[in-house]
Amino acid sequence: MTPGPLAGIRVLEVGHILAGPFATMLLADLGAEVTKLEPPGGDLSRQVGDAYFASLNRNKRSIRLDLTTEQGREKLAELATDAHALLVNLKPSVIRRLGLTYDSLRRFNERLVCVALTGYGLEGGDDPAFDYIIQAATGVAALTGDPDGPPTLPGYSSVDNSAGLTAALGLLAQIVSGRGGQVDIALRDVMLAQLNYRAAAYLNDGVEPRRMAHGAHSYYVPAQLFPTADGHLALFVTHDGFWKIFAAEAGIDGFPTMAERAARRDEVLAVVTRALAADTARGWEARLRPLGVAAAAVRTLHEALEATPEMIVRAGEFRLVAGPVRVVGYEPAHRPPPRLGEHGSLVVDGD
């Protein structure tokens, strides 16, 4: 079997639940050797459920380690000596108290990359920073939902997953530099960065973002969800060429330019809504996709997974969604998640 692109890279992980474990699982899928350093009771996600834990921790090793003891800290130093990186997602005060920063560990390994994944940064304090809290604090929730409804949260952990991806990128970037050092990733900063063009419109032109009905795009028209004869259709028309093709298929006349469609948004949406009522969401998808028009029927998770069997992998007894990075010629082994302390334990009996 072809080794993964990260074969030979050794990563230590200290953390709980989602953001940090997701980051290191992506690295493990690509061939890195990832070792979870778990407290006596284990990663808190073990308490959520076996499938939940498996979804974030396949392909890893587990060492049960009490970092509050001298023995635990000595073992950490030993492991750090031979590691390329340490990724931690805990409160800043806990990260410092347990000696999980580059300043604390550099004497054991100058080239060690230490990644701190926190709510507001290593200097940002210990205020609670769960996914939903960050969505509320950064304007994401306020931007989501219909104009006449309340702010809305997406149906998955968008902050934690985005922060995990960012942390994996920061970790690899510093490894590639050939230098050790501290990488500081804040959940708040990750989400503000993802508001790129919305933030730029406000910062440069004073344009206050507003919620649009049916998730409509602020620039493109039509680009939103539409009801059909059966189900909803996501339609995304980004330029005049696509509009011409869509309009011909839907039997719509007029509105040839993006400027006109934007200026007459309500008229365009009314005409498109009437036209789309003539067929089902799946029917429109089948008609428009071969023409190059971006359109998709709104599917449930069950339907989406059934439509993409190639994205389902087996890790021991668990069926899981595969990682998003595909490297030609390399196929991850997808080992099951480790048992607590499966690869070693330095915890006093009874803890």
Residues 176 and 222 in one domain: no
Quick check: is 149 in a domain? yes
Q: For the beta carbon of residue 292, count every other beta carbon within 10 angstroms.
A: 10
CB 154 within 8 A of CB 215: no
Tokens of 336: 């099951």
Give the whole-angstrom CA distance, residue 6 versus residue 10: 9
Quick check: is 223 in a domain? yes
Q: Looking at 43, 66, 160, 184, which residue is catalytic?
A: 160
Residues 264 and 324 in one domain: no
Residues 218 and 330 in one domain: no
Q: In this structure, what DSSP letter does residue 338 have? A: P
| Beta bridge mates, 227 | 232
Instruction: Summarize the confidence of residues 289-296 as an average pLDDT.
Output: 98
CATH number at residue 276: 3.30.1540
Tokens of 177: 């530099």
| Residue-wise pLDDT tens digits, 112-137 | 999 999 999 999 999 999 999 999 99
Distance of CA 26 to the CA centre of its chain: 11
Residues 286 and 335 in one domain: no
Region class of 321: left (phi > 0), else alpha (psi between -120 and 50), else beta: beta
CATH number at residue 146: 3.40.50.10540
For the chain, give the longest Cα–Cα distance: 77
Quick check: is 204 in a domain? no
- Range of 181's domain? 10-194+312-346
| Residue-wise pLDDT tens digits, 141-199 | 999 999 999 999 999 999 999 999 999 999 999 999 999 999 999 999 999 999 999 99
Residues 293 and 265 in one domain: yes
CB 238 within 8 A of CB 294: yes
Quick check: is 158 in a domain? yes
Specify the 3-state DSSP secondary structure of 165.
helix
pTM of this prediction? 0.93
Q: For the beta carbon of residue 114, count every other beta carbon within 10 angstroms.
A: 27
Domains identified in the chain, total number:
2
Q: Is 66 a catalytic residue?
A: no
Residues 249 and 316 in one domain: no
pLDDT band at 350 (very low <50, low <70, confident <90, very high): very low
Give the whole-angstrom CA distance, residue 173 versus residue 168: 9
